[in-house]
Amino acid sequence: MKPRRTRRRRRQGLSVPFKVGASLFVLGCVLVMAEGGARLWAPLAPAWQGEDNGGVVMVGHPERLWGMGPGVRMNGGTTATIAEIGLREPIPEVPRPAGRQRLMVLGDSTFFGHGVDDDQTMEAQLQRELRQRGLDVDVVNGAIPGYSTAQTRLLLDDVGWALEPTVLLVGNLWSDNNFDLFQDADLLRTRASLSSGLAAHSAFMRLMAGGLDRFRDDSEARVVTWTRTSAFPSTGRRRVAVQDYARNLDQVVRDAAARGIGVVFIAPSNRDTVTDGRTADQSWAVYFDAQAQVADCHGLQRLDTLPAFQAALADGGTLDGLFIDEMHPTTQGHGLIAETVSQGLLGSGWPLDGLLGTEAPCAVDNLEDPFPGGRSTTVNQLSPQSNLYPGAVALRGPQAATAREGEVLPPGAWIVSGEVQAASWPVTVVVRDVEDRPLSSTVLASSDTPLRLIVGQGLDRVVVQATDAAGGQGEAVVTPVAAVVEIQIGD
């Protein structure tokens, strides 16, 4: 009988636990191989690649792609003070005192105040003007360079609503309308999809997420499958499609209305619109139409800055007096925006009128972009997007001393290059204008690190100051004609 039982056990085959264990082992080997193979491709979520050089450069943000680091930052020909929460100072007290009105300005570098002192931005000038009229009000600068409406909505959820504004002054437009490397919705969805859960720790899961995303409906945001072999797109796309721009504005109004917060839209200006007006063939025209349509739908004010700028030009003003460059207003330009907003607010019956929109959505399907196919583009050196993936050619600290192929500089800008010799390292290099205001800076790690800094528009003479680790100093006067320097610190 015993031999029969033995043969019967043999016919039963391998045990269930053994089969399960073997299957798990094989599966584990497959997953390890898949993970190893995926890491060769290195699929990445967008994350800030640039280094903090002390200027108003962006630093990485886990949800909004980029933000601003705290401290006193170089800001064109002046400085900007950034608070711990990543907004320009001053930050108002919370909770908001009873009876006080609080205006919060939203937008990009135009409203942030590129090249303008802290106390001369349109927010600061608007606050002074309204207080001089006896109003208990403070104005918060919620604008961040390069921000689109998609990022601004996240900013409001992150820190904006907590500051308890009573009215939002929404100036977002230029960044949304820009043609750039990627659409903001794709970048934000990629960041959210690949930076949490298993995808945050597994290259294989990141690769799978990007692959599976291709089978979804094209009407939604896509996951950007960036790998080691990826190259930047050759065709620029609107950062925010015009219908999405309108929907974002609409959602801001509805979110604000649900909180009892009013909204006013501000239509910005630049050199082209001041000299030529706004015409239907301009690439940004449909975005101004979208802004107006959302304002009309909700019965809200849309304050147009263009008449004030054109009147100043007609009264003997100059474009250089109104704009630092193509897009950014000077101190005088910020004053014109503040005046436009002040008159519009007071003329509307505010603060008795809360300027509330409705919570019902607006239909924006009739908006059509005349440039749906995008435009051919190179990597924009000045675009924050170009810092989100490795291999970008945006300026991030010292680079080669000559301009690179495809590099785009602001009109009138030029490069200071050269080398510094010192007895102790690192060496801090600061470029200052003739009034001793800091313009840009970098830190050189050694004598092998080339000096390369961009000088802003309209400057025909700057001073390059170098300070080594021991406090020794050297400097050189530089012009666009002689922009290569050799600075010797000490003997």
Chain segment 236-276, per-residue pLDDT in tens: 789 999 999 999 999 999 999 999 999 999 999 999 999 99
Residue type, 319: L
227 class by beta-carbon count within 10 Å (0-12 exposed, 13-18 middle, 19+ buried): middle
Q: Which two tokens stand for residue 249?
A: 């504005």
- Where residue 198 falls among pLDDT bands split at 50, 70, 90? low
179-188, 386-395, 420-429: range with highest mean pLDDT: 179-188
CA 21 – CA 296 distance, rounded (Å): 66
Backbone angles phi, psi at 233, to 5 degrees: -60, 150
Per-residue pLDDT for 416 more than 60? yes
> Taking Cα atoms as reference points, which of 365, 384, 381 lies closest to residue 239?
384
Confidence at residue 17, expressed as pLDDT on a 0 to 100 scale: 75
Distance in angstroms (rounded) separating the CA atoms of residues 464 and 416? 9
Burial class (CB in 10 A: 0-12, 13-18, 19+), 455: buried
Q: How far apart are the first and last CA of the chain?
A: 103
Contact 59, 69 (CB under 8 A): yes
| pLDDT (average), residues 458-473 | 82
* pLDDT of 26: 66
Reported confidence tier of residue 95, pLDDT bands at 50, 70, 90: very high
Decide if pLDDT at 465 tops 50: yes
Closest CA to 152 of 256, 225, 37: 256
Statement: residue 194 has pLDDT above 60: yes
Angle, helices 331-347/306-314, rounded to nearest 10 degrees: 130
Q: Give the pLDDT confidence score for residue 19 in this predicted structure.
A: 64
CATH number 1.10.340.70 given to 44-396: no
At 414 the pLDDT is: 73
For residue 406, pLDDT over 70 is answered with: no
| pTM of this structure | 0.76
**Residue-averaged pLDDT of the chain:** 82
Contact 337, 312 (CB under 8 A): no
Among candidate residues 353, 341, 160, 176, the one with its CA nearest the CA of residue 266? 341
Q: Can you tell me which residue has the tokens 């798990």?
A: 24
- Express each pLDDT in 426-451 by its tens digit: 787 877 777 776 666 666 767 777 77
Whether the predicted pLDDT of 284 surpasses 80: yes
Which residue from 325, 338, 173 is spatially nearest to 239, judged by alpha carbons? Answer: 173
CA distance 174 to 170: 12
pLDDT of 458: 60
d(CA 380, CA 393): 8
pLDDT at 430: 78
Beta carbons within 10 angstroms of residue 418's beta carbon: 18
Is the pLDDT assigned to residue 4 strictly greater than 70? Answer: no
Contacts of 402 (CB under 8 A, 6+ apart): 415, 417
> Among the ranges 208-222, 258-272, 446-460, 461-475, which has the highest mean pLDDT value?
258-272
Instruction: Write down the pLDDT at residue 401.
Output: 30
pLDDT beyond 60 at 398: no
Calculate what percentage of the chain has a pLDDT beyond 70: 75
- 368 with 286: CB under 8 angstroms? yes
| Tens of pLDDT, residues 340-382 | 999 999 999 999 999 999 999 998 888 999 887 666 555 455 6
Q: What local confidence, expressed as pLDDT, does residue 234 receive?
A: 67
Amino acid at 74: M
Domain ranges of the chain: 2-41, 44-396, 399-488
The percent of residues in the chain predicted with pLDDT above 90, rounded, is 46
* pLDDT confidence of residue 395: 33
- Parallel, antiparallel, or unpaired: how do β-strands 427-432 and 462-467 relate? antiparallel
Q: What's 399-488's CATH class? A: mainly beta
Q: Is 50 exceeded by the pLDDT of residue 300?
A: yes
